[in-house]
Structure 1
C-alpha cells in the first residue's frame, strides 16, 4: 500500500502537495500527491545516476511528449512533467485500486467473463499506445490496476525509459521475465506484437492464477518463454484459442490489438459502469475498500488495546517494509536445551489440555496452516505435531505471563481454499502467528492475505520466493530454495566422487518445484565441467518412460529423475530392469515419501539431497534430547520435516514473547512480530542447522556453513537412511583419500 513521508522527502513538487510514499526503487520514489483542487496524482521523481544523464533527460522529455498523445480511458493520463529540473518528475492520474497480481493472489483466478472484459479494454489501451508511436515493453499483472469502471494500464513507455537507460542497446532484455515475448527474451527490440504476447500472458494469469511459463530464476523463465509451450490450465474453447494465438512464438502469427478488442467486444467492454459488476464480488469489494483507504487523509494510528469480548476487534497498523539487506533471525536463547533444560522438560511436554487462561493469563493462538491430500499429508502432520510440541513446552513454564493454544486449519492445495484458511486466521484476533502454509500454491495465494492483515507466518516446507511480491512484510520462509537444492545434487556427486555423464529428466508434471531444480543441469555442466544429457517431459504426456529409454541409449553413467512420486517410482523400475547401477537422484521433496515401499528393490540406492534432517542419527545433545522427547510423546522418531517445523515455531514464539506488553494489559500489535523478525541481527541455531534469511525473507544458503546444514539420504533396506551432511561426506572422502 503506502507509507508515511520520510524527513528527507519534499512536501511539495510543483503543483502537487505530497501526502504519502507509494513505493521506492533504484531509480527514484513514487508519491501520492494532491493538487490544490483536490485531485489525486501519482508523482514519480527520478533520482540517482539517471537524473544527471543528459541523454536520459532528452529521451524522458521526448517520451513524455509522445505519451501525452495517448488517447484512451484505459491508460493512465499524464498530468504534468518536468525533465529540466534537478530531479526530473512525472505526474499521472492516481488509480487507487489493486493490481491484477494483487487481486488474483488474494482471491484466486478471475472468471472468464471478467477476463474477457479485462482483455478487451487492455487491447484498446494498447491500440492507443501503439497508435501514439509507443511500445509498452512491460505489460504484466502488476502494471494493470483495477477500478470499478474498468482496468488501467500504467508504467508505459515513459516508465520503461525511466527504468532503463539503454533501451535501444542490442542484446538488452527489457521487461519482466515470464511476461515478455520470445523476441525480447532473445534481446531483440520490442514491437507492438511483443505487447500482445505480454497481454496473452496477463490474460492466462488472470484466468488460471498461474503464470503461463511458471516461476523461478530469470534465465529459466526466459528459456521457457523461447522453447516451451505455455501452461494454460483449464482454459478451453474460444478463450484458449485466443490466448494461444497471443502466445505464438512468431510475432507475425499474433493478433493485433484491434483484432483482440473486436473479438472480446461486449456491452461491458464498451463502457463498464461504476458498479464494478464486471468483477467478481470479492474483488469488487477489494477495489472499493482500496479506493476508500487511499482517499482517506493520513491520521494518527490509535493504540491497540484488548477489547471486551462483545466488541469487534480493531485492525492493527501494518508493519513498515524492512530494508533490503540480509536478515539474521533468532538466537541461541530460543533452545530449551541451551538453557540448561533437556530431556526432562521436553519429555514432560505431553499435556494436550487446552489452556483456560487461569490466573488471569490471556490466551493467544498459534495457527497451523496445513493442506489435505496425499502429497501434503505427511508434512502437514509433522508441522501440526511440531507446533503442539513447542506450545506445550511454553505452557509448562510456571513463570509464563500468557498461555498458548494451537488451532489447525487445512486447505485443499489450491488458491481458493488457501485464501479461506488465511482469512479465518486473520479474522481471529487471538491468532498471533501462523506456521505454514505447507505447500507452494497455497503459500503464493495466502501470503497476500496474511500480508494485508499484518499477521506473521513462516513456512518451513516451501522453497519458492514469489510470495514476496504480494507480501513483502509478514511472510517468511525457513526452508531451503528449490533452486539451490537442485545444484546441491552436483555438490554431492563432487564430494563423493560420483561425477559422470548424467541424464537428467525434468518431468513438468512435478510442477514449479522440479522446474526450479532443473538448475542441476547448468550446475553439472558449468561447475563440474561434466556432460549433461537433459530431457524435458511435458505435462500430462506420460513421456517419462521414453525419456528414460533415450538416456539409457545415450550411455549415461549417472541419472536424476526430477518429477512426481509415481513417475519417479516408474523410472526406478525401468532403470532396474535395464540393469543400470550408476548413482541415481530424486527430487528433494520425495524424501520422507512412500518411494522406498512402492519402488521396492528398484528403489535401493537412490539419493535425496535436502535440508531436512533426521535428528535421530545425530550425535549432538540437542538432537538426542529432542528425539527422546518426541519419541516419548508421539511413539517414534521425528518424521521428516518435523525438526524444521519445530525450529520455526520456537523462533516465532520467542520473538512474539518480546512483543507482549508488560503486564499483558494491552494486546500485542500484530505487525510488531514481523518488524522484529525483519530487523533482528542475530542467527537462530536450530536443532541441526543455523537459520539466516535473505532480502526476500527466504532461508539464505549463500553464506558459509550451508554444507553442514544440507543432508544426503539414501534408500537402504526399504527406508530412507541419512548418510550425513555434505560437509561430513566431504571430510570423510578426504580422509579416505
Structure 2
C-alpha cells in the first residue's frame, strides 16, 4: 500500500511527477510517479548520502543497463534512469498489484493451479534473463509482483552478467537468506541454476505459506539451506516433483527454466487474467482503483487577460494540444499444426502473362474460428483484394500469391503457423496475425526468423520486446483509445462529471485504456472523474454502475468485454441515463448494436478504423467500389486498414527486390517499413520507435473516427476534429 508524500520529498524526478510513497529503505525511497503522458511508474530514488560512493553509482547505472537487456512480458521494463544525478533514480512501469509476499501474508497460500501458472511464467522470465547473459541472484517473494494477467519479476539491483566476477568472489554471500541456493550460501557464487533454486523456494512459499527453510537469523537460514531438506509438507503430485527438482542441492541436476516452463505450462488458464484466486484479484483491483483515484494535478492552461469567450477558446485549444500530445507520448514509452484456409487466387486471369515473372509469396495468418472468425475473414478478403490489384497492374515486375493459414486463435496453433510460414523461403512477409493471443505467440517466431509481419487489428505495446526488428502494428495502440475518448468528448463539448468503469475481465487492455481516460479527463479536460475497477470473475459491474449513478455522473465510459458492456447499456437505459456513453474501441464492428437493442442507441466508439463507404474522397470511393465488385457488399469494419497494410507491404517489398528478380534479404523489408510513410485510403501510416502506428497531433484529431450506434448499427459520425477533406 502507498502512503502520502512528506514535505522533504521531491515533487518531480526525471520528468516524472511524484504522487505517493510506495516504500522506503536504508538507501532510498520508491515513489509512485506519473509521466508527462499520464503513465504510472515506480520511481526508485537513492539518497545523496548513499550515492556518495562512485562505485555505487557505477553499480546503480549497471542495474538499469542490465534490466534494459531483458525482453520478457513477465519482467517489469525500465522507463528511464540517471545514475549521474545528485540523487540517482530509476523508473520502471508501475504494476498496481501486491507482491507475492504481501498476497500470501494477507490471503494465505495460492491454490496449486495458480502456483503452476506463477511458476511457468516466472520460469519464462528467468529464461529471458539468462538468455540476455544475466543471473538475477535475488528471486524472492518481495521481488515478484502479482497482476491479473500474470506475475512480474522486478529488481535487478544485484543482477550480474554470467561472466562478471566482480562481486562473485569466494566467501561473499549475495542474495536473500532463505531464498538462495546452497552454492550461494557457501559463498561459491551463483549461476543460472541458482535462480532456479530460488524460484523453487518462491513456489514452495506460494504453495504452503511458509519459506521452505523456515525463519530465523541469516546464519541459521544459510545453514539449513546447505544441510537440511526443504519443508514441502502439503505439496503433492506433479507440483511436488517439480519443486523437489528445483530444490536439488546439486545445481547440475536442476531443470533449466525452459524445462520448468514446459512441465508447468499444462495448467495455463484459457484467459491470461483467470489465474489469481478471487481474494487476491480483489486486492489487485483495489490497488488499481487507488492508483486511478490520485489527487488532482493542475493542468497547464495558457489563459490571458482576454474576455471570457476568448479565454474559453484558448483553454480549449491548449487542452486539445496537450491531450493529443499526451496520447502521442504514451505510445513512445511496456500447436499441433495449422489448417490451410485458402490457396489465395488473384482472380485476374493473367496466369499465362505472369508466367515469365518471378513469383513471391505473402503469408496471411488469420483466425477463422471462434468470436474472431469474422474479423479474420475480413482481413483475408482485404489481403486477397490488394494482391489481386497488384497482380493486375500493368508493368509489374513480379507477381504475388498468398498462403493463408488459420491459427485458431490459440498459442499452439499460432506458433505452429508462424513456424510453417517462416520455414517457407518463398514467403517474403506475413500479414497478421489478427488476434492478440496469436500475435504474442507468433511475433517471437517471426522475430527469430527475421520475417517481417504486420498486424492491422492488434494494439498491445509489448510485442516489440520479443520481436524488436520485424513486428509492426498499423492499428491504433490500445492506450491511445483512452486519449481518443477524452479528445472526442472535448471536441464535441460533452465534458462533464464522468463515471469510468474498468472491467478487468477484458484483460490489461481495459486497465491501460481506462488509466489514460481517467488521467486525461482529470488533468487535461479539467473535469471531475470517478473511476471504478471491477475485478475479474466477480459480478461487481452492476454495483459499480449504481454507485456512479448515485454520484450524479453526466458522462459514462464503460470499458469491458462485449457481454458486460451490453449489460451496462441495459442498466443505464433502465435508470433513464441519457448522457454521453462511450465503449472500448475494441467493440467497434461487434454485435453490440443487436445485442443491446434499444438500450445501445446513442453509444459512442472512437477508433482509427474507418467506414470508407461514407467518405467522399477519390481513394475511398474507388476502394469501396472495388470491394463491392469483388465481394458484393460494402467493406466490413477493419477491411480498410487490412487493405492498406497489405498494399504498404507490397509497395515497400517491391523496393527490395533485386533487379532481374531473385530473393531479397528478409530484414530489408523491415528496415524500409521503419522509415516509410504510406498514404492509405483514409489515413497516413508511419511507425513509432516501437513499430506501432505513430499517433501524432494531426492524425489523432483528423484521422480517428467517431462512430455512434444509430438505428441498430454503427454509423460513422466523422473524425474527432473537423476534416472536410475526408468527409
Q: TM-score, normalised by structure 1?
A: 0.59
Residues 302-349 of structure 1 deviation map (CA, whole Å, 9 limit, x = unaligned): xxxxxxxxxxxxxxxxxxxxxxx99xxxxxxxxxxxxxxxxxxxxxx9
Conserved 8 A contact 2:613-2:620: yes
CA–CA distance in structure 1, aligned partners of residues 86 and 120 of structure 2:
33
CA–CA distance in structure 1, aligned partners of residues 540 and 719 of structure 2:
34
- The number of residues matched between the two structures is 499
Stretch moving more, 433-442 or 272-281: 272-281
Conserved 8 A contact 1:500-1:531: yes
CA–CA distance in structure 2, aligned partners of residues 717 and 267 of structure 1:
62
CA–CA distance in structure 1, aligned partners of residues 367 and 524 of structure 2:
37
Q: CA deviation at 1:274?
A: 7.7
Give the alignment of 1:356-435 within 5 angstroms.
358-435=354-431
Gaps spanning 5+ residues in structure 2: where?
1-49, 103-109, 126-142, 152-200, 233-239, 264-327, 330-344
Q: Taking structure 1 as reference, are residues 277 and 58 closer, same or farther at Cα in structure 2, changes over 3 Å only?
A: closer
Aligned to 1:457: 453
Q: Taking structure 1 as reference, are residues 503 and 443 closer, same or farther at Cα in structure 2, changes over 3 Å only?
A: same
Aligned to 1:165: 83
Aligned to 1:586: 583
Conserved 8 A contact 2:95-2:145: no
Give the alignment of 1:252-401 within 5 angstroms.
263=232, 265-267=243-245, 269-270=247-248, 271=250, 273=252, 279-280=258-259, 351=347, 358-401=354-397
1:722 to 694, 716, 723: 716
Aligned to 1:491: 487
Residues 2-49 of structure 1 deviation map (CA, whole Å, 9 limit, x = unaligned): xxxxxxxxxxxxxxxxxxxxxxxxxxxxxxxxxxxxxxxxxxxxxxxx
Q: Taking structure 1 as reference, are residues 211 and 174 closer, same or farther at Cα in structure 2, changes over 3 Å only?
A: farther
Conserved 8 A contact 1:562-1:587: yes
Conserved 8 A contact 1:496-1:729: no
Aligned to 2:658: 661
CA–CA distance in structure 2, aligned partners of residues 260 and 632 of structure 1:
73
Question: Does 2:598 align with 1:685?
Answer: no
Question: Does 2:120 align with 1:207?
Answer: yes
CA–CA distance in structure 1, aligned partners of residues 563 and 62 of structure 2:
58
Q: Taking structure 1 as reference, are residues 725 and 202 closer, same or farther at Cα in structure 2, changes over 3 Å only?
A: farther
Residues 132-161 of structure 1 deviation map (CA, whole Å, 9 limit, x = unaligned): xxxxxxxx6599xxxxxxxxxxxxxxxx9x
1:508 to 493, 504, 529: 504
SS at match of 1:207: helix
Give the alignment of 1:563-582 within 5 angstroms.
563-582=560-579
Q: TM-score, normalised by structure 2?
A: 0.60
Residues 521-540 of structure 1 deviation map (CA, whole Å, 9 limit, x = unaligned): 11111111111111111111
Q: CA deviation at 1:414?
A: 3.1
Q: CA deviation at 1:724?
A: 0.2
Residues 347-381 of structure 1 deviation map (CA, whole Å, 9 limit, x = unaligned): xx971779589533232111111124443222211
Aligned to 1:612: 609
Conserved 8 A contact 2:501-2:559: yes
Conserved 8 A contact 2:604-2:708: yes
CA–CA distance in structure 1, aligned partners of residues 99 and 255 of structure 2:
35
Question: Does 2:698 align with 1:701?
Answer: no
Gaps spanning 5+ residues in structure 1: where?
1-52, 65-86, 93-98, 106-139, 144-159, 186-196, 213-224, 285-324, 327-348, 733-737
Q: CA deviation at 1:520?
A: 0.6
Aligned to 2:636: 639
CA–CA distance in structure 1, aligned partners of residues 403 and 616 of structure 2:
34
Q: CA RMSD in A?
A: 4.7
Aligned to 2:18: none
Conserved 8 A contact 1:178-1:211: no
SS at match of 1:647: helix
Q: Taking structure 1 as reference, are residues 210 and 399 closer, same or farther at Cα in structure 2, changes over 3 Å only?
A: farther
Q: Taking structure 1 as reference, are residues 390 and 273 closer, same or farther at Cα in structure 2, changes over 3 Å only?
A: same
Conserved 8 A contact 1:357-1:363: no
CA–CA distance in structure 2, aligned partners of residues 514 and 589 of structure 1:
10
Question: Does 2:697 align with 1:711?
Answer: no
CA–CA distance in structure 2, aligned partners of residues 587 and 728 of structure 1:
22
CA–CA distance in structure 2, aligned partners of residues 675 and 731 of structure 1:
32
Aligned to 2:624: 627
Residues 559-615 of structure 1 deviation map (CA, whole Å, 9 limit, x = unaligned): 111000011111111111111111111100111111101111111000000000000
